[in-house]
Amino acid sequence: MESHLGRVLGDEALPLAERAKVFLDTTTDLVKEVFEDRLPVIKNGHFARIRNVVEQSIRFFTKEKALAAMAPFISHDYKSYTHSVHVFVYSVAVLHSFGVEGEDLLQAGMGAMLHDLGKTRVPKDILAKRGALSRAEQEIMKNHPLWGVSQCASLPMSQLALNCVLFHHERMDGEGYPSRLAGEHIPFPVRVLAVCDAYDNLTAERPGQAALSPFDALQSMRSEKGAYDVEAFKRLVQVLSGAALI
Ligand SMILES: [Fe+2]
């Protein structure tokens, strides 16, 4: 399925409804996995509302243009797609715990799902490289937020959603890219996304590097001074522990 999914979604000979169903089923399974294995099992209103937003957002991606944007992304690098689904669920959960609702939450969710879309243009050997990237490879990699935004141009996304794609590698201390925005200049939903993105990267297996446990991943993030919004980080810890869901 991993190697065929992108090809199936991009095959215009297949009816849109069929392709949309394949996308819906696969993504719903991945989302279920996050809820069951990575987030605390608490059945309450908060949880049900997150699930609702997640389902609505996934439906957005079953529309023709969104599906056309996702297909090459999925076939280029399946791991980037599963990562995006994880980051999407974490971001929606954390933002919702901060009181973000409705259209804003939906748009932030879409931004989270599409944040790495620009990696479609990063060569596969760079994405899969074991160990550190060379300077030239890093420069190519650093283009992916900008490439991502241009790939989103035909989608009905708000400025907030586009900001998620463009600024998810900015750091609180202004040492990120592409714009070296710092602190409050980085929109809050993007700061939440950045925290969720880092957490999922650290807890996933990467080329040449084993996955960290949730505890070790959070410790590593805490020791990285100046990178993350402290409130967003604390809230992610609470959401992962179930404290923010009660
Ligand atoms: Fe990224």
Report how far residue 20's alpha carbon sits from residue 199's, in angstroms, rounded to the nearest whole number: 29
Distance of CA 18 from the midpoint of ligand 1 (Å)? 30
Q: Is the pLDDT of residue 199 over 80?
A: yes
- Tell me how far the alpha carbon of residue 115 lies from the centroid of ligand 1, in angstroms: 6
Q: How remote is the CA of residue 124 from the centroid of ligand 1, in Å?
A: 15
Q: How far is ligand 1, taken at its centre, from the CA of residue 22, in Å?
A: 25
Q: How far is the CA of 239 from the centre of ligand 1 (A)?
A: 22
Please name every residue paired with 206 in a beta bridge, in sequence order, or none if there are none: 209
Residue 61 to residues 16, 69, 90, 110, 111: CA-CA distances in angstroms? Answer: 12, 9, 18, 9, 12
From the CA of 9, how far away is ligand 1's center (Å)? 23
Tell me the pTM: 0.91
pLDDT at 87 over 90: yes
State mean pLDDT over 22-30: 87
Whether the per-residue pLDDT at 168 is higher than 60: the answer is yes
Q: Which domains does the chain have, with CATH numbers?
A: 2-245 (1.10.3210.10)
| Cα 15 to ligand 1 centroid, rounded to whole Å | 32
Each residue's pLDDT tens digit, 131-150: 889 999 999 999 999 999 99
Nearest to 91 by CA among 232, 234, 245: 232
32 compared with 226, residue with greater pLDDT: 226
The alpha carbon of 145 and the centre of ligand 1 are apart by a number of angstroms equal to 7
| Residue 116 Cα to ligand 1 middle (Å) | 5
Question: Cα of 77 to ligand 1 centre, how many Å?
Answer: 13
Q: Are 78 and 5 in contact (CB under 8 A)?
A: yes
Task: Give distance in angstroms: CA of 43 to centre of ligand 1.
Answer: 32
Span from the CA of 202 to the centroid of ligand 1 (angstroms): 13
